[in-house]
Amino acid sequence: MNEALLSFENITYTYPTGKQPVMQNFTLNIEPGTITAILGPNGAGKTTLLHLGLGWLHPSEGQVKLSNKGLHAYSRRELGQMMGLVPQNENTPFDYSLLEYVLLGRTPYLDPLAMPGEEDVAISLQKLEAIGLAELQHRVMPSLSGGERQLVLVARALAQEPRLLFLDEPTSHLDLSNKSRLVKVLRDLQQQGVTIVFTTHEPDVASALATHMVLMRDGHVLQSGTAEEVMTDSSLSELYKLPIHVKELDGKRIVLWDN
């Protein structure tokens, strides 16, 4: 038995169209109540990791366990209630209003053929407010900027009220003020007991938010541990193969890179 909420046990994964495994003997435990940042260069397998955790992809070898039970022990609906995903981006060709879009996050709580009710609308509005987009609720999705769209995806995942939230590069389109808003929203979420796992290319965001960090390269864990242990000159330099310095300023870590 272990304490982890989600554990990856000796995962090997090869894409159906690929020959080389993108992940090999991958082992990782996510403790409840933590915020874990997954850092790594492009193609390191970060998104694959999230998809495996979600159960969307099945490992070729090894097992992913949620609360010590294999994911297959849960129904789709149960998984939907427990784990949410904020994808990197999403194709939205149709004119959904923001509110309708966020409302979709309530689906795991509805009976298979039921429509959302008043309570679902109220929760969705509340999440739109939390993310700062309540006044745009009747705007349609295609009219939003990339950053606003990313925030709506977050709001939808909040409406899902998961215990474990995956975010795939959630800040990639955000300006500074929205970045700081998202960091605050995610911290509040952690306060409420939600466990968070996110991938990022921005060490600053990782260091502002994460309690734990995983450095990934070529489908392996290079290093994992608490943010203090992992955020060091040597490990970041090794990860990106680039001289990187981590400096402390007013109790915050700042990442500098040479070029």
56 in contact with another protein (CB under 8 A): yes
201 in contact with another protein (CB under 8 A): no
Task: Rule CB under 8 A: choose which of 27, 70, 90, 247 binds another protein.
Answer: 90
**Least distance from C-beta 58 to another protein, angstroms?**
12
Question: In whole angstroms, what is the distance from residue 63 CA to residue 217 CA?
Answer: 20
| φ/ψ (deg, to 5) at 147 | -65, -45
12 in contact with another protein (CB under 8 A): no
16 in contact with another protein (CB under 8 A): no
8 A C-beta contact, residue 39 and residue 231 = no
> Max alpha carbon distance in the chain (Å)?
56
| Per-residue mark of binding to another protein, 107-136 (x: CB under 8 A) | xx-x-xxxxxxx--xx--x-----------
146 in contact with another protein (CB under 8 A): no
Task: Rule CB under 8 A: choose which of 34, 160, 207, 235 binds another protein.
Answer: 160
SS (H, E, C) 176-233: HHHHHHHHHHHHHHHHCCCEEEEEECCHHHHHHHCCEEEEEECCEEEEEEEHHHHCCH
18 in contact with another protein (CB under 8 A): no
8 A C-beta contact, residue 65 and residue 95 = no
170 in contact with another protein (CB under 8 A): no
| Residue 112 identity (one-letter amino acid) | P
Residues that bind another protein (CB under 8 A): 51, 54-56, 76-77, 79-81, 83-85, 87, 90-97, 100, 104-105, 107-108, 110, 112-118, 121-122, 125, 137-138, 140, 142, 160, 166
